[in-house]
Amino acid sequence: MIKPHGSDELNPLFVYDTQKRHALIAEAETLPSLLLNSAAAANAVMLGGGYFNPLTGYMNLADALSVAEKMHTVDGLFFPVPILNRTSQDGISAGTRIALRDPNVEGHPVLAIMEVDAVESISEEQVNFMAEKIFRTLDPKHPGVATFSELGNTLLSGPIQVLSFSYFQSDFPDTFRTAVEIRNEIAERGWETVVAFQTRNPMHRAHEELCRMAMEQLHADGILIHMLLGKLKPGDIPADVRDASIRKMVEIYFPPNTVMVTGYGFDMLYAGPREAVLHAVFRQNCGCTHLIVGRDHAGVGDYYGGFDAQTIFDEEVPSDALELEIFKADHTAYSKKLDKVVMMCDVPDHTKDDFVLLSGTAVREMLGKGIAPPPEFSRPEVAKILSDYYQALDA
């Protein structure tokens, strides 16, 4: 199986030993507490699950600035975005152990214990420098920039021991999986070539066929459909609705033992190219050999060019940084001429009128009125689940 990023073995930070974990939870009640923001909590969950291997905790300021600028730490470890614990809380000192509490679960239970190696102040200029590098914009209307700018100007760095996977295990017991669990299941299935498909949306016919195209061209053993389960911008479809629609599509339209439907506990960054590279890092940690990167991968609005998330791998990611490879996908749509879904780049004789193309707004309006999109665009079983959701919103 493909090696994890940066090490021979995956090193998840979750404390799997039950006796040790209970002892640490008891110790946490005697320690000073920090209520995390959702971004830092999501980073802890990802560190716990092995997704951010080989990191051992939150980055310090020097590493954060280096990663933002050059995509590697001061010591040279390739990493595409800073993994931070920023706060506005005072009174925390370097050299102490603190309990990190979960902002997303009632009662704020302990999420992790942290050894605070350093407490550093971040200037507004440094926050803007990192935001500009990560998001390629400082526009406060960009949802990622808006969140990043408000996380606090005190940076806590150091190793953590993760004691919980927050609400993800309880709310999504059939879907949330750690990188450890995904690697184990890939091994159990005997898959060698595994293609990851990232999604924060339901999957329409074009997405479904794109997975098939990648499998066929790469002679893959299976597809990992890997959905984000954390926080999104307003208007995005909730994880439980996406989960139900994707599972229905896989159940009906894919052969058995060719698809794993899973999810991960992270908040969307909407960082376009940089987030695409982060997706590649943690899919390699999952055991995947390839990641599908399509048009406007991890983008939002008009902040990124349609294929910037592909060109970053050619222009900015060192050739030896990752073992995982990218499957580059063009815009995909149903061809009326050929009566099948195609990549637009493969049919230069087509005009716009030869495709079934619908905007997201048009699809939402149709679903909200109980009108199913054309079957060439969306499977009827998937459309029914989404229609029920939108009609309930409008009721």
Cβ–Cβ < 8 Å for 4, 324:
no
**Residues marked as catalytic:** 200-201
Residue 358 within any structural domain of the chain: yes
User: Does residue 12 fall inside a structural domain?
Assistant: no
Angstrom CA distances, 76 to 47, 84, 114, 318, stand at 19, 18, 24, 12
Whether residue 192 sits in one domain with residue 157: no
Report the pLDDT averaged over residues 116-141.
98
Residue 222 sits in the same domain as residue 339: yes
Q: Count of domains in the chain?
A: 2
Tens digits of residue pLDDT in 355-395: 887 776 777 788 888 888 888 889 999 999 999 988 888 76
pTM of the model: 0.94
Residue that is written with structure tokens 């999504």 in the block: 172
pLDDT at 234 over 90: no
pLDDT tens digits, residue range 156-215? Answer: 999 999 999 999 999 999 999 999 999 999 999 999 999 999 998 888 888 999 999 999
* pLDDT for 66 beyond 90: yes
- What residues contact 289, with CB distance under 8 A and at least 6 apart? 2, 192, 193, 194, 195, 220, 323, 324, 325
Is residue 55 a part of any domain in this protein? yes
Residue finishing a domain among 117, 149, 169: 169
pLDDT tens-digit profile of 327-349?
999 888 888 888 888 888 888 88
Mean pLDDT of all residues in 238-255: 93
Same domain, 33 and 123: yes
Say how many C-beta atoms besides its own lie within 10 A of residue 138's C-beta: 14
Residue with the larger pLDDT of the pair 238 and 119:
119
Within a domain: 265: yes
Cβ partners under 8 Å of residue 70, min gap 6: none
Give the domain extent around 158.
Answer: 18-169
Residues 101 and 240 in one domain: no
Instruction: Verify that 186 and 162 share a domain, yes or no.
Output: no
Same domain, residue pair 207 and 241: yes
pLDDT for the residue 270? 96
- Both 258 and 333 in one domain: the answer is yes
**Residue 6 forms part of a structural domain:** no
Tokens matching residue 307: 């294929």
Specify if 320 maps to a domain: yes
Q: What is the dihedral of CA 197, 305, 325, 278, to 10 degrees?
A: -70
Residue 311: alpha-carbon gap to chain centroid? 19
∠ at Cα 47 (44, 53), nearest 5°? Answer: 160
- Give the domain-ending residue among 169, 199, 231: 169
Q: At what angle do helices 273-286 and 124-135 cross, to 10 degrees?
A: 70
Mean pLDDT highest for which of 31-40, 233-242, 344-353? Answer: 31-40
**Average pLDDT value for residue range 230-239:** 85
Looking at residue 332, what is its pLDDT? 83
Closest CA to 199 of 170, 175, 163: 175
We report the CATH number of the domain holding residue 70 as 3.10.400.10
Do 197 and 125 have their domain in common? Answer: no
Contacts of 80 (CB under 8 A, 6+ apart): 67, 71, 274, 275, 277, 278, 281, 317
Structural domain contains residue 2: no
Does residue 3 fall inside a structural domain?
Answer: no
| Angle formed at CA 260 by CA 274 and CA 289, multiple of 5 degrees | 50
Pair (209, 304) in one structural domain: yes
3-state secondary structure the chain: CCCCCCCCCCCCCECCCHHHHHHHHHHHCCCCEEECCHHHHHHHHHHHCCCCCCCCEECCHHHHHHHHHHCECCCCCECCCCCCCEECCCCCCCCCEEEEECCCCCCCCEEEEEECCEEEECCHHHHHHHHHHHHCCCCCCCHHHHHHCCCCCEEEEEEEEECCCCCHHHHCCCCECCHHHHHHHHHHHCCCCEEEEEECCCCCHHHHHHHHHHHHHHCCCEEEEEEECCCCCCCCCCHHHHHHHHHHHHHHHCCCCCEEEEEECCCCCCCCHHHHHHHHHHHHHHCCCEEEECCCCCCCCCCCCCCHHHHHHHHCCCCCCCCCEEEECCCEEEECCCCEEEEHHHCCCCCHHHEECCCHHHHHHHHHCCCCCCCCCCCHHHHHHHHHHHHHHHC
83 and 187 part of one domain: no
Mean pLDDT is lowest, of 104-108, 287-291, 301-305, 367-371, for: 367-371
Name the average pLDDT for the chain: 94
Last residue of a domain, one of 169, 189, 207: 169
The pLDDT score that the predictor gives to residue 395 is 65
Match 């280096």 to its residue by tokens: 66
**Segment 296-302 mean pLDDT:** 92
Residues 135 and 269 placed together within one structural domain of the fold: no
In this structure, the answer to whether residues 227 and 332 fall within a common structural domain is: yes
Indicate if the pLDDT at residue 21 is higher than 70. yes
The pLDDT value recorded for residue 271 is 97
Q: In whole angstroms, give the CA distance from residue 87 to residue 152.
A: 4
pLDDT tens for 136-155 read: 999 999 999 999 999 999 99
Give percent above pLDDT 90 in the chain: 80
Quick: pLDDT tens for 315-329.
999 999 999 999 999
pLDDT score recorded for residue 316: 97
User: What is the CATH number for 300?
Assistant: 3.40.50.620
